[in-house]
Amino acid sequence: MPYSDTVFFDDEYRNIEEVGRLGVQTVYVKHGINFTMVNAFL
């Protein structure tokens, strides 16, 4: 699976930056995630 087809959720911005450089779609979640957020990326 290509990195561009994956989504990475994290509450640490440094991880968002590092993983994003690989081509992964990243989502910074300062206050956690829920089903609605995950479903938006499916």
DSSP conformational letter for 29: -
What's the pTM value of the predicted model, to 2 decimals?
Answer: 0.80
Q: Which residues pair with 6 in a beta bridge?
A: none
Which residues in the chain land under pLDDT 70? none
* Residue keyed to tokens 């499916």: 42
Query: So what's the pLDDT on residue 42?
Result: 82
Domain of 15, in residue numbers = 3-39
- Let me know: does 25 contact 7? Beta carbons within 8 Å: yes
Please state, as a whole number, how many other Cβ atoms lie within 10 Å of the Cβ of residue 30: 7
Q: Which residues pair with 27 in a beta bridge?
A: 9
Count of domains for the chain: 1
Residue 6 carries which side chain, given as an amino acid letter? Answer: T
Instruction: Give residue-wise pLDDT tens across range 14-24.
Output: 999 999 999 99
